[in-house]
Chains A and B, each alone.
Chain A
Amino acid sequence: MDPNFRYSVLGAMLLGAGAAAIGCFAFLKKQSLVGDAVAHAVLPGICVGFLLAGTKSTLALFAGALVTGWLSLEAIRIIRQRTRLKEDAAIAIVLSVFFGAGILLLTMIQHSDNAQQAGLDKFLFGKAASLVEEDVQIFAVMTAIIFVLLYLFYKEFKIAAFDPQFSKSIGLPMRLIDFLQMALIVVAVVAGIQAVGVVLMAAMLITPAATARYWTNSLPKMIGLAVSMGVVAAVAGVAFSTVAPKIPTGPSIVLAATFLFAASLVLAPERGVMARAARHRRNYIRMQDENVLKTLYHLGEESGDFLKSWTEKEILARRKMPPVFLKNSLRRLRRQGFLKESAGAWTLTPEGKRRGARVTKLHRLWEVYLTKYVNIAHDHVHDDAENMEHVLTPELEERLEQLLEFPGTDPHDKTIPY
């Protein structure tokens, strides 16, 4: 394998893993934008570090980055505490001022005659395609630092993110914990910007965390998943820009991460858009079906014969709905054993009658409750009951019955079936 490619992949993987891991905590503390601010604020620090050291010594650049990263967070905190500005405004101000100062310094350095400065501009947009062995070694150390500290302070980071007031009340050194977390973000950023650049760094911190949150409700799993996503995005991005050399590596890594995010947004179970739509649809179908059973029950009540057969036309005359919906609903209910069909006419089975009666009962009980306990006029209670009849659980049903002491009729003098 081409060593250059190997270093690019390795470097990007390390950065993806480290940034994703610490990014989870920034994400959970709702400080996603703070990560972005820090990412931008390290640029002036890198320049000052270079100016003081005179060379691109990693240690000097890193120390400078740490100082301005920390300064930017302090600036955000002070602006929030001392002015009436809200956090978003504070972040916007700090981010742009620090980044502006960084660009200014960078331009000054580039126009000086220091031959060492070549390559400093790579910090702005990254250089993943031209990483060398030494870079990868430094990344490895930085990523190791992140993981070791995350492991050691896992408990503290978790509780500080979940409940800062409680954490302080049990005597945890919150300032130290906040500082450590910020320092780890700076470490991830300093490593990361060499691959994807300052501008795209926030995506490497936050996107994998946001993606992982879709798939799990457990913090350790979320961190594990976020790290995997970061690594996969890094590999995919480097591979893609190798196949299509005109595409820069940093942006294609970020695009890969974004693709994973978009896919999760749509596909994830429970939280994903599709799962939510499916849940919605299942509920809707259940409501439709219950309404059909209820209508047949009403027809039975009115005719005095619950086992009478009804045509689709007769059902539609009693309750308006699109005929196609009714057809589908009838077929589903027959399959489930709630209805029987013969010669185009539909009859309730005993189970169908029971379920139709229950929906009718819930509807009428709720109407009684609203008129009696919420003081709503009896001609205004029907619409709300139309919804509640599908929602009330058996436990609530029981409590309603007891609270209302099994009323015989609803506010419209219709009998409540038990």
Chain B
Amino acid sequence: MITHSENPAIEVHDATVSYNRRPVLWSVDATVPQGKMVAIVGPNGAGKSTLLKSMMGLVPLASGHIEFFGKALDDVRGRVSYMPQREAVDWDFPTSVFDVVLMGRYGKLGLFKRPRAADKQVAMECLKKVGMEQFAERQISRLSGGQQQRVFLARALAQDADIYLMDEPFAGVDAATEATILQLLAEMRSVGKTIVVVHHDLQAVAQSFDWVLLLNLRLVASGPIAEVLTEKLLQETYGGKLNLLAEVSQILHEEKKKSREKRKV
């Protein structure tokens, strides 16, 4: 059941991604409506992060293409913000909370230019929005998981984009941080921003989001929450047994391994 939206923020056309010839996303065809909170949901290894990364060109598409506001990413890069998973960076890096948030301005600065006073002001305001202004000078290794996510969120806010792609912003956060982040996302939506979030908590998705993409190697369903979060579709997404697609994917992977081993002999 795939519902498409008119005049979408993001349009994914027949996107296929493989790692080492092993497909991790099969022919995903989806649209993300503008000004909505959209959740990408699916079991572990379903390709949720990969879908976000392929949107940002961080992993190559084997086929298909992706458009933002009907244009290629390079034409609208300044309007798209990407927040990686918390684990993607080394939190022992010698830098402060404020410096990390300031990185959100780098995309607007271009090569060689240093952040100006105005950029610093934006960064500070964003830190305030996530309730971390008193931590501005703190070394980032001395933050809790929830504080790290807030810092990442502040950096995304500092990008001042129209579309926000966030990879598991709720992973490892305490209840207070979850509430803060959800409230911020709702505020962003109310001024027309489009927010796409990889999320694990189905209940939270049902309560706070507008639109959902159910993913398990392929797009199982996509559309408004009420239509998509049905038992049948969830069963299809999370269904206990390996589905056929996963098995085929596994076979392709094994084949490759075998042929490589043969070559080695």
Q: Please report A residues at the B interface, Cβ cutoff 8 Å.
A: 28, 30, 83-84, 152-153, 155-156, 158-159, 161-163, 165-166, 168-172, 213, 216-219, 222
Contact = CB atoms under 8 A, between A and B. Distances in A.
Given A165-B88, A172-B106, 7 more contacts: A28-B94, A161-B93, A163-B89, A172-B107, A217-B139, A217-B141, A218-B94
Nearest to A170: B107
A168 B56 contact: yes
Interface of B: 53, 56-58, 74, 77, 80-84, 88-90, 93-96, 99-100, 103, 106-107, 109, 111-115, 139, 141, 155, 159, 260
B93 A166 contact: no
Contacts of B159: 170
Given A163-B84, A165-B58, A217 B107 contact: no
B204 to A, nearest CB: 21
14 contacts: A152-B112, A155-B114, A158-B95, A161-B93, A162-B90, A162-B103, A165-B84, A169-B57, A171-B77, A171-B107, A172-B106, A217-B95, A218-B94, A218-B96
A163 B95 contact: no
A153 B113 CA distance: 9
B50 to A, nearest CB: 12
A163 B83 CA distance: 10
B82 A171 contact: no
B140 to A, nearest CB: 9
Nearest to B109: A155
A198 B212 CA distance: 57
A170 B81 CA distance: 8
Contacts of B89: 162-163, 166
A219 B94 contact: yes
A169 B82 contact: yes
Nearest to A221: B94
A304 B31 CA distance: 73
Contacts of A84: 260
Contacts of A28: 90, 93-94
B88 A163 contact: yes
Nearest to B55: A169
A216 B95 CA distance: 10
Contacts, number: 77
Nearest to B88: A165
A168 B53 CA distance: 10
A299 B232 CA distance: 63
Contacts of B56: 168-169
Contacts of B100: 162
A162 B95 contact: yes
Interface-centre pick from B82, B89, B95, B159 (highest chain A CB count, 10 A): B95
Contact of A168 (B57, B93, B96, B103): B57
B82 A165 contact: yes
A272 B81 CA distance: 39
A170 B94 contact: no
7 smallest CB-CB distances across A and B, nearest first, come from: A170-B107, A169-B82, A217-B139, A165-B84, A171-B77, A169-B56, A163-B89
Interface of B is mostly: mixed
B112 A216 contact: no
Nearest to B257: A84
B151 to A, nearest CB: 11
B18 to A, nearest CB: 13
B49 to A, nearest CB: 10
Contacts of A155: 106, 109, 113-115
A372 B95 CA distance: 41
A170 B84 contact: no
A156 B57 CA distance: 19
B77 A159 contact: no
Contacts of B84: 163, 165-166, 169
Contacts of B74: 171
Nearest to B114: A155
Contact of A216 (B82, B83, B94, B103): B94
Contacts of B90: 28, 30, 162
Contacts of B94: 28, 213, 216-219, 222
Contacts of B106: 155-156, 159, 170, 172
A84 B259 CA distance: 13
Contacts of B83: 166
Contacts of B99: 219
Contacts of B141: 217
Contacts of A171: 74, 77, 107
A171 B82 CA distance: 11
Interface-centre pick from B80, B90, B113, B114 (highest chain A CB count, 10 A): B90
B108 to A, nearest CB: 9
A135 to B, nearest CB: 32
Contacts of B80: 169
B158 to A, nearest CB: 11
A152 B114 CA distance: 9
A162 B58 CA distance: 16
Contacts of A158: 95
Contacts of B96: 217-218
B93 A162 contact: yes
A256 to B, nearest CB: 24
A301 to B, nearest CB: 35
A168 B94 CA distance: 21
B139 A159 contact: no
